[in-house]
Amino acid sequence: MAITVMEVLKNLPRTNCGDCGQPTCLAFATHVIKEGEDLDKCPHLTGAGADLGQAVRAQQEAGVGRRRESLAISLEVLQEKVAPLDFAALAQGLGAAYGEEAGRPYLLLTYFGHPLQVFKDELRYPPGAPADPWDAILLYNYLASQGQEPVAGRWIAYNSLPNSVSKAKTLVRLEQKLADHFAGQTAQLKQRADRLGGETVAVGEDADVQVAFLPLPKAPLLLLFWDAEVEEGFAPQAHWLFDASVTHYLDLEAMLFLVERLMERLME
């Protein structure tokens, strides 16, 4: 029998704390079942609630609920927005190369170090690379922005952006997850960052790790990491910063997704 919204709700703390990014526990439970939200976004799950996550994910992957349907609709809407665009005119501004195949225009984009062909109705991966609809949604969002703004070279915090207050808690949760994962493992974090093409920078902070990444041509990310200092009573910390031009290329949701994808690669 399929897991229902009310079953998820019963396993939530029901404090309406908002730490998941939703205003109430009921709203969060609804998004989990109906929209494919990740149950782990509730940081207060314990016991049976934590165990429920695996069953919910299996249900989502089986196509129960609206996750796959929502993905397909979102992707279709984005491709419709991209369809009338002049790829040749947009290429340089997006940091892409223009090309055609059998009369079909495409943009060649570097995504996490790999070249991808983005047609108006198809995302083509390199041979052997697994396709992921979330990547497609992110990339079509990037194209739909029609961004032409130069990279500013100035780092800003997510919560300094307009209308980011309700979503900033999600970034804080992601940052804490990364900090906890690499606590006491600064050298490993540096190795993983180097493997992903991260560039060590100095931005005037006293962080143990300061690394800039370029997952998309015009969307650099900066990671600041401070390891724990047990004797001083300091817990590990991590913070993500964005280039000041980021809103010309990605919306708030896409920015969080880009951070999640980069974290997955760092922590795998």
pLDDT in tens, the chain (268 residues): 678 888 888 889 888 888 888 878 888 888 888 777 888 889 888 777 777 888 888 877 665 655 545 666 778 889 999 999 999 999 999 999 999 999 999 999 999 999 999 999 999 988 887 778 888 989 999 999 999 999 999 999 999 999 998 889 889 999 999 999 999 999 999 999 999 999 999 988 889 999 999 999 999 999 999 999 878 789 999 999 999 999 999 999 899 999 999 999 999 8
Could you tell me if residue 94 is inside a domain? yes
Compute the C-alpha angle 70/73/78, nearest 5°: 125
Could you tell me if residue 246 is inside a domain? yes
| CA 31 – CA 60 distance, rounded (Å) | 12
Same domain, 40 and 91: no
Could you tell me if residue 15 is inside a domain? yes
pLDDT for residue 65? 56
pLDDT for residue 1? 66
The pTM for the full model equals 0.75
Same domain, 209 and 231: yes
pLDDT for residue 68? 47
Same domain, 110 and 127: yes
pLDDT for residue 165? 87
pLDDT for residue 62? 64
Could you tell me if residue 204 is inside a domain? yes
Same domain, 20 and 75: no
158 with 171: CB under 8 angstroms? yes
Could you tell me if residue 208 is inside a domain? yes
Same domain, 133 and 75: yes
Domain at 199, CATH number: 3.30.310
Domain at 24, CATH number: 1.10.15.40
Same domain, 223 and 252: yes
Q: Which domain holds residue 85?
A: 68-144
Could you tell me if residue 150 is inside a domain? no
Same domain, 110 and 168: no
Could you tell me if residue 187 is inside a domain? yes
From 110, 125, 144, the end of a domain falls on 144
Residue 231 DSSP SS3:
helix
Q: Write phi, then psi, for 114 (nearest 5 degrees).
A: -115, 135
From 116, 144, 172, the end of a domain falls on 144
From 122, 144, 166, the end of a domain falls on 144
Same domain, 59 and 73: no
| CA 94 – CA 80 distance, rounded (Å) | 19
pLDDT for residue 77? 86
State the DSSP code for 236. Answer: P
Could you tell me if residue 149 is inside a domain? no
Same domain, 56 and 87: no
Tokens linked to 116: 């991808």
Same domain, 15 and 106: no
Same domain, 229 and 169: yes
Q: How many domains does the chain have?
A: 3
State the DSSP code for 81. Answer: H
Tokens linked to 226: 């401070």
Same domain, 168 and 226: yes
